[in-house]
Amino acid sequence: MGRFFKSSIGRKYAMALSAFFLMFFLLQHFAINILSVFSPDAFNEASHFMGTFWAVQYVLQPILIFGVVYHFVMGFILEAKNRGARVKKYAKNNGAANSSWMSRNMIYSGLAILAFLVLHFIDFWIPEINTKYIQGDMSGLLGDGDGFRYYEELVHKFVNPLRVGAYVAAFIFLSLHLMHGFSSAFQSAGATSMRKEKLQLFGKAYAILIPLGFIFIALFHHFNH
Ligand code: HEM
């Protein structure tokens, strides 16, 4: 087993597995965030549940953090190995001849997403952890009215047009990353050619609709605060 994950095929398999897990996370993250557009109360309740339920906090969250770090570290390792292999195999970069522009640029779209995550953590995650675990004061989660402050905080973050621009740009990179990532992950997971076409279609729809949905949320709050 250990040897399998150290082999190049094993690494690709593990990379695909972590990618599917992150895609699942993204879907549920979107499902909760889109509530903020339709019902601030529902968004507050869902956020509070996710932020305080023990299984989410102490089981799913550590798995998520591991998944994100693993995906990035393995991404860099695979990129470095591919570069090494390319230099050996071809006198010059194979270029567009046998790989798409996006597949060659996964590392750059990945880096853009990493930069976004740093900003995103500073915006949302760190203040949350600070209130809950460092100050240990759950009343810090309450808003100005009778409910929680998750909704107010979210809307407040999308006032600054620079931040909204940075988020939208990151979501475009996310779409490009997912577009190639999906088909590559299906390939590594060994999808058969019969199923492949439907899966590719689903992958393309996901890669466009989810980032578009996130863009919608950011713009909606920017123009409706
Ligand atoms: C408009 C778009 C988005 C909004 C409004 C949003 C909002 C939030 C909020 C409110 C939190 C804090 C949750 C908590 O209290 O712990 C959070 C956490 C997080 N977000 Fe987003 N998010 C957006 C897009 C994204 C995207 C595109 C990604 C990934 C590429 C992402 C990745 C994460 C991660 C990894 C966390 C930490 C999860 C945790 O362990 O709590 N978010 N986001």
| Range name among 18-22, 57-61, 95-99, 102-106 with the lowest pLDDT average | 95-99
Residue 211 CA to ligand 1 centre (angstroms): 13
Between 27 and 76, whose confidence is greater? 27
Residue 99 has a pLDDT of 61
Q: Is the CB of 124 under 6 A from ligand 1?
A: yes
Residue 224 has a pLDDT of 92
Q: Is the CB of 106 under 6 A from ligand 1?
A: no
**Separation between Cα atoms, residue 111 and residue 123, nearest integer Å:** 18
Q: pLDDT tier at 8 (50, 70, 90 boundaries)?
A: confident
pLDDT in tens, 47-88: 999 988 999 999 999 999 999 999 999 888 888 887 777 655
| Range name among 8-22, 43-57, 155-169, 181-195 with the lowest pLDDT average | 181-195
Backbone torsions φ then ψ of 91, nearest 5 degrees? -65, -40
Residue 119 CA to ligand 1 centre (angstroms): 10
Q: Is the CB of 34 under 6 A from ligand 1?
A: no
Between 143 and 85, whose confidence is greater? 85
**Separation between Cα atoms, residue 186 and residue 106, nearest integer Å:** 16
Residue 133 has pLDDT above 70, yes or no: yes
* CA 71 distance to own-chain centroid: 11
Q: pTM for this structure?
A: 0.87
* Secondary structure letter of residue 123 according to DSSP: I
Residue 96 CA to ligand 1 centre (angstroms): 35
Residue 199 has a pLDDT of 84
Closest residue CA from atom 13 of ligand 1:
125
Closest residue CA from atom 39 of ligand 1:
61
**Separation between Cα atoms, residue 93 and residue 207, nearest integer Å:** 28
Would you kindly state where each structural domain of the chain is located, as residue ranges? 2-223
Rg of the chain, C-alpha, whole Å = 20
Pocket test for ligand 1, best of 122, 124, 174, 175 (most atoms within 8 A of CB): 124
Could you tell me where the DSSP H helices lie in 53-192?
Answer: 54-55, 61-89, 101-104, 106-120, 126-129, 150-157, 161-188
Residue 185 has a pLDDT of 79
Between 126 and 24, whose confidence is greater? 24
Amino acid type, 144: D
Residue 140 has a pLDDT of 62
Pocket test for ligand 1, best of 21, 24, 29 (most atoms within 8 A of CB): 29
